[in-house]
Amino acid sequence: MPLKGHARFGGGLTDVPLTTWASRWPPYSIKAGLRAKEMASLTWAMVTEADGQIGEAIQLPNRASKGKTGGRTIPMHPEVYTALVTLQSWRNDTADPDRPVIFSERGGGLSPATVRLWFHRLYTSLKMDGCSSHSGRRTFITRAARRVSQVGGSLRDVQELAGHTSLAMTQRYIEGDTEAKRKLVALI
């Protein structure tokens, strides 16, 4: 089933069918752990430095996330950085700091519900039952939790990347791995 609808990425583009930009959204979810609301709220000011160049981190203020504690900073994954540089190069003069990175065919920002619907249509078309806009975020958190000790970090670092106020919430996102458990026990 082809995806219907159009959207624009970062301005300067003519309408791009959802099938064309399908590959552009997953990095924000899987490689940055963003929620649907955060993807919908993402503006150029949150991803650029003062000189307008793509920065080294995504700066999410409270208004763009569920937080009430001052927002959060997510280091920029190379795939997210590359996607943003590409989008910015297509922008012409429409990547103003307050303009959404992803916007509708009418030029306005997207609602979180629209982002969730877009992911639902994508995953349905790919016959990936049970997946949602939150699936990439869960993948991000699980992968981060499995690898954090390799870089000298802790689950507290994963909690902060996820923007959770409690470690208990972060733990709900982390999928268990039977093979990893076997290997861990064998090391003891």
Residue 45: the pLDDT is 95
pLDDT along the chain (188 residues), means of 10: 37 38 64 93 93 94 81 92 86 76 80 90 89 91 93 94 92 86 86
Residue 110: the pLDDT is 87
Asked if 132 and 120 touch (Cβ cutoff 8 Å), the reply is yes
Asked if 57 and 75 touch (Cβ cutoff 8 Å), the reply is yes
Q: How far apart are alpha carbons 15 and 92 in whole angstroms?
A: 14
Residue 21: the pLDDT is 45
What's the distance, Cα to Cα, between the start and end of the chain in Å? 50
Residue 83: the pLDDT is 87
Residue 24: the pLDDT is 53
Break the chain into its structural domains and give their ranges.
Answer: 6-133, 136-187
Could you tell me if residue 36 is left (phi over 0), alpha (psi between -120 and 50 degrees) or otherwise beta?
alpha
Asked if 115 and 30 touch (Cβ cutoff 8 Å), the reply is no
Q: What is this structure's pTM?
A: 0.81
Burial 159-185 (b: 16+ CB within 10 A, else e): bebbbbeeeeebeebbeeeeeeeeeee
CA angle in degrees (0–180, nearest 5) for 137-126-161: 5
Residue 35: both structure tokens together: 């929620």
Residue 19: both structure tokens together: 């099938």
Residue 13: the pLDDT is 31
Give SS3 for 92.
Answer: coil
Residue 37: the pLDDT is 93
